Amino acid sequence: MRVWRLDVWHGGIDEGSVEWFTSQRAAKKRNTELKRTFDDLTEWEPEPVEIPTNRTGLIEWLNLFFDTDNG
């Protein structure tokens, strides 16, 4: 399954987030909206991410990319 990831950083490393989208078009639209909102937005292009759809592949992918609690 392909999804699109958009890293949104403004004002420094502590002020940002990651947003996920089902299409590149939606991610680019959101990026444009954010550029209008934040003058200091670090510009990032949406990045395609392939997420496995079978149980084993998904668990391996999660363990590889999400090993923190963001806390």
8: tokens are: 């949104």
C-alpha span between 23 and 36 (Å, rounded):
21
Which pLDDT value is given to residue 44? Answer: 74
Asked if residues 16 and 5 have their Cβ atoms less than 8 Å apart, the reply is no
Determine phi and psi for 6, rounding to 5 degrees.
-125, 115
Which of residues 8 and 63 earns the better pLDDT score? 63
H helices present in 1-71, as ranges: 24-37, 55-65
Q: Where are the domains of the chain?
A: 2-65
Which pLDDT value is given to residue 70? Answer: 58
Which pLDDT value is given to residue 59? Answer: 94
pLDDT digits (tens, 9 = 90+) for 8-58: 776 666 667 788 999 999 999 988 888 887 776 666 788 999 999 999 999
Which pLDDT value is given to residue 17? Answer: 78
Asked if residues 16 and 7 have their Cβ atoms less than 8 Å apart, the reply is yes
